[in-house]
């Protein structure tokens, strides 16, 4: 059984979707959810889904000792970032080489990097007059959104699309593809 931890900073709709996808898997288990925000709605979702979730602050994520101890306690094999806004610190990268993946709500390398998250990404896509947007699932390295891209999927952006219109189309791609890509990557390891 491969055991996965999800790092999430916000609502956690991707985290919930991933937990549900693997709920009857005999190969992959979502064992734990960690957040850097104690008020993140992802904790409510975890509670409802019966998944343990904990909050660690920015300093604890950077120092990583407590985090790595917790991941060891839960026998974690793989880390999935789903709306996690902190950079993953070097000790965690070192402990999980090629075993940390992230989803970004745009077609990298465009519209990525520090500060590019959530609606800011979709606003930038609209402001630039892009005809399409989408998702990028990639390995995580020491820079924001710069690891090797594993998978991308695109959606149309219409001239009169609002930020929310784009966000909804991107979320649909996330919910459709992220669990499948996680499954392929984790089971090939
Ligand atoms: C998603 O759009 C994801 O692509 C990005 O952050 C958002 C998280 O949304 N990394 P949620 O917390 O999973 O609802």
Q: Whose CA is nearest to atom 5 of ligand 1?
A: 83
pLDDT of the residue at 189: 65
Gap between the Cα atoms of 103 and 147, Å rounded: 11
Choice among 43, 104, 122, 138 that is catalytic: 104
Residue among 6, 7, 8, 10 whose CB has most ligand 1 atoms within 8 A, to mutate: 10
Instruction: Assess whether pLDDT exceeds 90 at residue 136.
Output: yes
Averaged pLDDT score across all residues of the chain: 97
Q: Which of 45, 75, 97 is the last residue of a domain?
A: 97
% of the chain surpassing 70 pLDDT:
99
**In terms of domains, do 90 and 112 share one?**
no
Number of domains in the chain: 2
107 Cα–ligand 1 center, Å: 14
Nearest atom, ligand 1, residue 174 CA: 4
148 torsion bin: left (phi>0), alpha (psi -120 to 50), beta (else)? beta
165, two tokens: 């219109």
**In terms of domains, do 132 and 188 share one?**
yes
168 Cα–ligand 1 center, Å: 11
Q: 3-state DSSP call for residue 28?
A: strand
The range of the structural domain enclosing residue 157 comes to 102-189
Q: Residue 158 maps to which CATH number?
A: 3.40.50.170
How does pLDDT run across 82-123, given as a tens digit for each residue? 999 999 999 999 999 999 999 999 999 999 998 899 999 999
Residue 7's φ and ψ, nearest 5 degrees, are: -95, 125
**In terms of domains, do 88 and 112 share one?**
no
173, two tokens: 């791609």
Nearest to 35 by CA among 18, 49, 52: 52
Kindly indicate the confidence band of residue 144, based on its pLDDT and cuts at 50, 70 and 90: confident
Q: Which of 97, 131, 161 is the last residue of a domain?
A: 97
**In terms of domains, do 87 and 154 share one?**
no
**In terms of domains, do 36 and 60 share one?**
yes
CA 22 to chain centre: 16
Q: 3-state DSSP call for residue 129?
A: coil
79, two tokens: 């880390």
Q: Is 104 a catalytic residue?
A: yes
Residue among 41, 80, 105 whose CB has most ligand 1 atoms within 8 A, to mutate: 105
Q: Which helix (H) or strand (E) holds 80?
A: strand 78-81
């Amino acid at each position: 059984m491969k055991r996965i931890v999800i790092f999430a900073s916000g609502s956690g709709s991707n985290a919930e979707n991933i937990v549900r996808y693997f709920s009857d898997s005999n190969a992959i288990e979502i064992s734990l959810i960690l957040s850097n925000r104690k008020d993140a709605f992802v904790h409510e979702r975890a509670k409802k889904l019966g998944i343990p979730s904990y909050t660690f602050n920015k300093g604890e994520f950077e120092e990583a000792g407590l985090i790595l101890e917790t991941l060891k306690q839960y026998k974690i094999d793989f880390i999935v970032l789903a709306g996690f806004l902190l950079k993953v610190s070097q000790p965690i990268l070192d402990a999980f080489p090629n075993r940390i993946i992230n989803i970004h709500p745009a077609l990298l390398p465009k519209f990525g990097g520090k500060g590019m998250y959530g609606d800011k990404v979709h606003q930038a896509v609209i402001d630039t007059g892009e005809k399409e947007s989408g998702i990028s699932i990639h390995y995580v390295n020491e820079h924001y959104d710069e690891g090797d891209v594993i998978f991308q999927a695109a959606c149309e952006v219409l001239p009169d699309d609002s930020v929310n219109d784009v966000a909804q189309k991107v979320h649909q791609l996330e919910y459709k593809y992220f669990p499948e890509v996680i499954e392929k990557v984790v089971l090939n390891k």
